[in-house]
Amino acid sequence: MCGIIGYIGNKNAVPILMEGLKRLEYRGYDSSGIGLINRKKLSVHKKEGKISVLEKTLSKTIHGKSGIAHTRWATHGQVNDINAHPQVSANGRIAVVHNGIIDNYSSLKSRLTSEGFKFQSETDTEVIAHLLQKYYTGDPEEAVQKALAQLDGTYGLIILFLDHPDILIGARNGSPLVVGVGEKEMLLASDVNALIAHTRQVFYVEDRETVLITKDSYKTVNMNNSVVSKQIEKIEWEMAEFEKGDFNHFMLKEIFEQPEVIRRSYGGGGRLLPGFGTAKLGGLNIEKSEYFDIDNIVTMGMGTAYYAAMIGAYLLENMARIPTVAEQSSELRYRNTIVRKGTLFFAVSQSGETLDTLTAMREIQNRGGRVLGICNSVGSTIARESDGGVYIHAGPEIAVASTKAFISQVSVFFLLALMLGRMRDIPTSAGKQYISELTAIPDKISEILEKADELKTLANKYKHYKNILFLSRGINYPVALEGALKLKEISYIHAEGFSAGDIKHGPIALVNEETPSLFIVTKGETFDKLLGNMEEIKARKGKVIAISNSEDNRIKDLSDDFFLIPESHEMVSPLLTVIPLQLFAYYIADALGKDVDQPRNLAKTVTVE
């Protein structure tokens, strides 16, 4: 979850590392630090708080041509200056930044303590710094290999040796690490975001590999010390995509990008075959005939990606008529899941680095299963290790609260369901109808965005409530869960999503004048049932907010507040119903003065289990 970056070259590393850290801040932001070598001295500066706090404390005079930096999401030890990284060896000659968790740190710490090493911090990372000192006898690569051999757990590491100012060493096991190859400069980071202002030429370090960089060379070796050759890739994302532009927050910018993002998800038409009423998706690595061997599908993800996976399951069952279930990756991984020849798995992840999903994917693959990825970050670990997959092309998502990735994931599932459905039961005419429903979505999202002020007013009315329920049924039930997640993660208001049918089995006990319920009521089979559920809330004096594509007077009569969205086919309705919920959460959090883009306790990329 933490962000790490290293630089070596002819320029002053300080502004490069600080700028890189800001681009990584979404990964963790409770403390940060920088380590540099200058005039044969290793200097380390660390501060609790956001990167801006560290920045203020840095003197303009510090510089160095090689350095490492870190932004932290605490796992071991409190949030304070001492536990911030870099962590430094006892003799002050080796500094380390680390993203991940060392599972056996406690036994290593006892052993090192008994050998005389004095620990300053409560972190697991400090054991790495001391181990490196212990094994260092002049050859830094040897010391790294010996130290790594002692570690159980996950790490993305960048190491600075005072005795070798012309090199940086990186190592990876389970936490991402990418090398940026520049002109007379080289960078290492947990994320390409941090590099692309300097170079677009990158390569990825794989698990159990270490990489040694100088300003004009690199060498990657595996655990057996054999050299691994690397293919340089070009990163296509534009710098503007990493800027807020005229928006106050990345989250708002990303919400407003969604019409365009949906167009990109179907390749501006390139992923559609309108004449045949179907979709075509390259990269799945499945022979056409193999599609008929799919007996069932399992979709998985975490958080918002899991809710997209739930909608995916709904779409695949309804349109392709293939039995499908959605699971949280963290549960699937440890429940001895059944893997059979006819089962196809989908791993959904914006970042492509979520460890819960990655470990579940690896478990399934190790048992012979086939896992396809639905990812946003090009070149991410899940994208690379999956057996095939589809990029959602949402562009960089910076706000911790996921918005545009969600609708793109849903849109890609719609394409998959359409493609598989057309191979089975969906006739051409219905396929064509589905395509026109999807391609109408961007303009319909724009219509909702034009009414953002209505949602701002609504947010101001409800911002002081302590609890809010989100209710719906069918394909919009996961949207209710997503609406509640958005609200709780950025406003800290307690919000829960339920299927409206389930509330009478318990949750309705929560309803009173102080607990409003937000209903998503779309035309379709459960419309009347949802009206009945609204009645049940009203009967208990609960306030009702309705988001609906129907102007039926009964909804207006039953709701205290009503927000109209454009009509659509039920199967694409989540692409519209979620938009007002995103804006509702955003405006509440902003009105309450919360840190919308970097909510407390969270990080954008969750690389611990």
Residues 402, 375 contacting (CB under 8 angstroms): no
Question: What DSSP designation does 36 have?
Answer: E
Phi-psi region of 280 (alpha: psi -120 to 50; beta: other; left: phi over 0): beta
Contact flags string 457-486 toward ligand M6R, x per CB under 6 A: ----------------------------x-
* Least distance CB 354 / ligand M6R (angstroms): 3
Question: What DSSP designation does 131 have?
Answer: H
The per-type count for the chain, helices as H runs and strands as E runs, is 19, 26
Q: Is 375 a catalytic residue?
A: no
* Least distance CB 277 / ligand M6R (angstroms): 30
* Least distance CB 302 / ligand M6R (angstroms): 4
Nearer Cβ to ligand M6R, position 97 or 358?
358
Phi-psi region of 48 (alpha: psi -120 to 50; beta: other; left: phi over 0): beta
Q: Alpha-carbon dihedral of residues 245, 15, 25, 258, nearest 10 degrees? A: 20
* Least distance CB 317 / ligand M6R (angstroms): 22
* Least distance CB 308 / ligand M6R (angstroms): 8
| Rounded Cα distance, 587 and 571, in Å | 28
Tracing tokens 């009503």 back to the chain, one arrives at: 562
Residues 191, 1 contacting (CB under 8 angstroms): no
* Least distance CB 554 / ligand M6R (angstroms): 33
CA distances from 356 to 18, 135, 301, 352, 467 (A): 30, 33, 8, 11, 29
Contact flags string 279-318 toward ligand M6R, x per CB under 6 A: -----------------------xxxx-------------
The reply on whether position 534 binds ligand M6R by CB under 6 A is no
CA 193 to mean position of chain CA atoms: 13
Q: Alpha-carbon dihedral of residues 424, 425, 428, 431, nearest 10 degrees? A: -90
Residues 119, 84 contacting (CB under 8 angstroms): no
Contact flags string 330-359 toward ligand M6R, x per CB under 6 A: -------------------xxx--x--x--
Kindly name the residue from 2, 47, 109, 543 that is annotated as catalytic. Answer: 2
Residues 174, 206 contacting (CB under 8 angstroms): no
Q: Shortest CA distance to 401 belongs to which of 260, 304, 309, 258?
A: 304
| Rounded Cα distance, 135 and 143, in Å | 5
**Tokens describing residue 191:** 């994320």
User: Helix H segments across 136-189?
Assistant: 140-148
Q: Give the DSSP letter string of 295-325.
A: -EEEEEESHHHHHHHHHHHHHIIIII---EE
Residues 498, 471 contacting (CB under 8 angstroms): yes
Residues 434, 277 contacting (CB under 8 angstroms): yes
The reply on whether position 28 binds ligand M6R by CB under 6 A is no
Nearer Cβ to ligand M6R, position 74 or 401?
401
Amino acid at 93: R
The reply on whether position 606 binds ligand M6R by CB under 6 A is yes
Residues 500, 471 contacting (CB under 8 angstroms): yes
Q: Which of residues 45-74 bind ligand M6R (CB under 6 A)?
A: none
Total interface residues for ligand M6R by CB under 6 A: 16
CA distances from 327 to 117, 166, 304, 313 (A): 45, 47, 12, 10
3-class secondary structure for 212-275? EEECCEEEEECCCCCECCCCCEECCCCHHHHCCCCCCCHHHHHHHCHHHHHHHHCHHHCCEEHH
**Tokens describing residue 550:** 């129907």
Q: Which of residues 389-448 bind ligand M6R (CB under 6 A)?
A: 400-402
| Rounded Cα distance, 546 and 276, in Å | 37
* Least distance CB 582 / ligand M6R (angstroms): 10
Query: b/e per residue, 174-212, with b = 16+ CB within 10 A?
Result: bbbbbbbbbeebbbbbbbbbbbbebbbbbbbbbbebbbb
Give SS3 for 347: strand
Nearer Cβ to ligand M6R, position 262 or 305?
305
Nearer Cβ to ligand M6R, position 99 or 402?
402
Question: What DSSP designation does 227 have?
Answer: B
Query: Residue from 387, 437, 489, 570 that binds ligand M6R (CB under 6 A)?
Result: 489
Catalytic residues: 2, 604
| Footprint of ligand M6R (CB under 6 A) | 302-305, 349-351, 354, 357, 400-402, 485, 489, 605-606
